[in-house]
Chain A
Amino acid sequence: MNVAQQIVNGIVLGSGYACIALGWTILLGVARLVNFAHGQLYMLGAFVTWFATSKAGLPYPLAIAAAVAVLSALGLLMQSAMMRLVMTQNLTSLMIVTLGIGYVLQGGSALIFGGNPQTLPGTLSRAKVDLGPLWFTWQDVLVLIVTIALYAAVWLFTQRTRYGSVIRAVAEDPKLAELFGINARIVYLLVFVFECSAVALGAALVAPRSPILTSMGFNEVIMTFVVVVLGGIGSIGGALAAGLGLGLFTAFFGAFVAQAYTTAAAFALLLALLVIRPAGLATK
């Protein structure tokens, strides 16, 4: 058992977690909204990519663009339907509504894409990089680079630009923000569309690693949610750190303790943290 290889595996896994979690982190942290269809959106993003490459014969970059476009449109639709609940900050109903929509997406995808497991063909995910005893794929490198670039861009945008402060103003108090001439509806709509396109991008990049199923849903992205809570609800830097940390933890736990119980172990970690620091790691 090679420690250096497990560190590589951990970074590979962790960048994937962080990549998929980005949309949720923004939605939760910047707009204070929740979306329990996140798992099904991930599934849909993966299947649209699969359909575009395997059935429509598009090259991989175009397939990614297709997945982002489809999910953005879906996000626009979802958020428009839920706008009243969003404006009244009815989180209880929003949680249940998104759960219901996720269930619809699951049934609809099974009708469209069939019930069989599929694999995303990827030339990058088969291209191995061998560094003596260590190995990883070019796809892993791509995921890591895109994840870090995205987090940096989002951090700069929300913290350093005027638009970023507009979004944060809406999150603080939508009614007050409207008094200052900000259209809160548009802001919520854009943030939600961003969440959907981010998860589509994450799915297109991360999903080639494992077989995809229309029923995978939230189980597949449960680590996302652990990342978001560990990172301290909505903290962008926190989510990136939590993603990578959780990746390392998963890799080492899987290699040295028990592969089957890595999710349970990550969850135990989360529970322990919730007792010590209920608001997450990043807060003081």
Chain B
Amino acid sequence: MTVIESRSPTPMPLLRAASIGAFIVLGFFLPRLLGGTSVAYSTLTTIAIFAVMCYGVDVVLSYLGEVSLGHTLFWAIGGYAAANLSTKYGLDGWSTALATIALCLAAAAFLGAVTLRTREFVFSLVTYAAAVVAYEIAFNWDAIGGSDGIVGIPPLTLPLVATSFSAATQEDLWPVSFVLLLLTLGLIARFRYSRLGTVALMAQMNPALAASLGVDPRRVRLAVFVISAPITGLAGWLYAYQRAYVGPDMFESYFLVMMLTAVVLVGRRVLIGPLVGTALLVAQQNLFSLGGDWNKIVLGSVLALVLIFWPTGLVGLYRRFSKR
């Protein structure tokens, strides 16, 4: 298994930069290439938002090897922060985004610190329970929306130095979601080769080696968990503006299953894996929908079957066939 591919010096850095640039330009104009309809824009915006959401889980699952079942909590924190602060205090997008990041960091630090000394699966259990409890609070606490949620979130505004950007339609939201996706991809790419990223992988793959080098796996888990939270949080933040509505349904297990499936479908530890996985799954649900209940069966089966039969995902499957 290729786990850490050593960063071989790229023979042609210019070519590499050019292909990344082409990828970005192509990605940006993709909705127009697909016809420029509002369906194309909204589907691609959803894919970008959901992909960012999945990257939060990806960091924990792929590089730490732990399962966080509480990322819907951060997803909802982003949505509720955007909804409450923009409707009640008229704050702009920058402020709500900052609040999202701060709240997610605080929540993740608290949850991670409390579970610091627990066994591995207790961590998953507690994160799961945290999301369920947060759901109950969001459902019952009328001051932050209650069971009805918050309707009528104003369009996203991001005032820049001289001008101001306002996203009233799906077409306007696309650039924001695309930039958020690019920033996330950049962050993950950096994280993979950062000290924390490699130490996390080492603690997962070879705990004995990590321990002999003085790595405390609990601290690594806490650090990675805290970093992952605002990624999913910011996706929730943008999702609130896209839907103009936030409610307790942000805690639905759909999002949790979606996050995990998108990561394992293509294969763990693949940079664009969650993006491709999200694109495939959202395309199935939006364009080839079989109805809500059947979509659940499809999503859940994909998750279970991939892990049972091809634990390395589509990438592993491809490698197995290409070797023959």
Residue of A nearest to B124 (CB): A95
Given contact pairs A222-B129, A274-B115, A233 touches B297 in the complex (Cβ within 8 A): no
Q: Say if the beta carbon of B300 comes within 8 Å of chain A.
A: yes
Check if B67 sits within 8 Å of A96, measured CB to CB. yes
Q: Say if the beta carbon of A264 comes within 8 Å of chain B.
A: yes
Check if B136 sits within 8 Å of A261, measured CB to CB. yes
Check if B303 sits within 8 Å of A34, measured CB to CB. no
Check if B304 sits within 8 Å of A97, measured CB to CB. yes
Q: Output the least CB separation between A159 and chain B (Å).
A: 23
Check if A103 sits within 8 Å of B299, measured CB to CB. yes
Which residues in chain A, 139-154, are within 8 Å of chain B measured between CB atoms?
none
Q: Say if the beta carbon of B209 comes within 8 Å of chain A.
A: no
Binds B, one of A13-21, A77-85, A166-174: A77-85
Q: Output the least CB separation between B158 and chain A (Å).
A: 35
CB neighbours (8 Å) of B124 from chain A are 34, 95
Check if A96 sits within 8 Å of B133, measured CB to CB. no
Q: Say if the beta carbon of B132 comes within 8 Å of chain A.
A: yes
CB neighbours (8 Å) of A274 from chain B are 114-115, 117-118, 122, 126
A74-102: contact bitstring with B at CB < 8 Å (1 yes, 0 no)? 00000001101100000111011101111
Binds A, one of B19-27, B35-43, B256-264: B256-264
CB neighbours (8 Å) of B140 from chain A are 260-261
With an 8 Å Cβ cutoff, the count of chain B residues facing the other chain is 46
Q: Which of B126, B294, B307, B311 contacts A270 (CB under 8 A)?
A: B126
Given contact pairs A107-B293, A274-B122, A92 touches B114 in the complex (Cβ within 8 A): no
CB neighbours (8 Å) of B308 from chain A are 81-82, 84-85, 97
Check if B135 sits within 8 Å of A229, measured CB to CB. no
Q: Say if the beta carbon of A271 comes within 8 Å of chain B.
A: yes
Residue of B nearest to A32 (CB): B121
Which residues in chain B, 293-316, are within 8 Å of chain A measured between CB atoms?
293-297, 299-304, 307-308, 311
Check if B300 sits within 8 Å of A102, measured CB to CB. yes
Q: Which of A82, A85, A96, A278 contacts B264 (CB under 8 A)?
A: A96
Check if A100 sits within 8 Å of B300, measured CB to CB. yes
Q: Say if the beta carbon of A59 comes within 8 Å of chain B.
A: no
CB neighbours (8 Å) of A91 from chain B are 120-121
The CA-CA distance from A95 to B122 in the complex, in Å, is 11
Q: Which of A104, A260, A264, A271 contacts B304 (CB under 8 A)?
A: A104
Q: Which of B61, B260, B293 contacts A99 (CB under 8 A)?
A: B260
* Chain A interface residue bracket vs B: 35 or more
Q: Output the least CB separation between A219 and chain B (Å).
A: 6
Residue of B nearest to A107 (CB): B296
Check if B121 sits within 8 Å of A108, measured CB to CB. no
Q: Output the least CB separation between B278 and chain A (Å).
A: 16
Check if A271 sits within 8 Å of B126, measured CB to CB. yes
Q: Output the least CB separation between B204 and chain A (Å).
A: 10
Q: Output the least CB separation between A93 and chain B (Å).
A: 5
Q: Say if the beta carbon of A267 comes within 8 Å of chain B.
A: yes
Q: Say if the beta carbon of A205 comes within 8 Å of chain B.
A: no
Q: Say if the beta carbon of A203 comes within 8 Å of chain B.
A: no
The CA-CA distance from A101 to B305 in the complex, in Å, is 9
Which residues in chain A, 252-284, are within 8 Å of chain B measured between CB atoms?
260-261, 263-264, 267, 270-271, 274-275, 278-279
CB neighbours (8 Å) of B293 from chain A are 107-108, 110-111
Q: Say if the beta carbon of A191 comes within 8 Å of chain B.
A: no
Check if B132 sits within 8 Å of A261, measured CB to CB. no
Check if B300 sits within 8 Å of A104, measured CB to CB. yes
The CA-CA distance from A96 to B60 in the complex, in Å, is 13
Which residues in chain B, 63-100, are within 8 Å of chain A measured between CB atoms?
65-67, 69
The CA-CA distance from A39 to B80 in the complex, in Å, is 27
Q: Say if the beta carbon of A106 comes within 8 Å of chain B.
A: yes
Cβ contacts A to B, 17 pairs, < 8 Å = A34-B125, A96-B67, A99-B69, A99-B260, A100-B299, A100-B307, A103-B296, A104-B297, A104-B304, A107-B293, A110-B293, A218-B128, A225-B125, A261-B137, A274-B126, A275-B114, A278-B118
B residues bordering A, Cβ < 8 Å?
Answer: 61, 65-67, 69, 114-115, 117-122, 124-126, 128-130, 132-133, 135-137, 140, 253, 256-257, 260-261, 264, 292-297, 299-304, 307-308, 311
A residues bordering B, Cβ < 8 Å?
Answer: 34, 36, 81-82, 84-85, 91-93, 95-97, 99-108, 110-111, 217-219, 222, 225-226, 229, 233, 260-261, 263-264, 267, 270-271, 274-275, 278-279
Give 16 A-B pairs besides A104-B296, A111-B293 with Cβ atoms closer than 8 angstroms: A34-B124, A91-B120, A95-B121, A95-B124, A97-B304, A100-B260, A106-B253, A106-B300, A107-B292, A107-B297, A218-B132, A222-B132, A260-B136, A267-B129, A267-B133, A275-B117
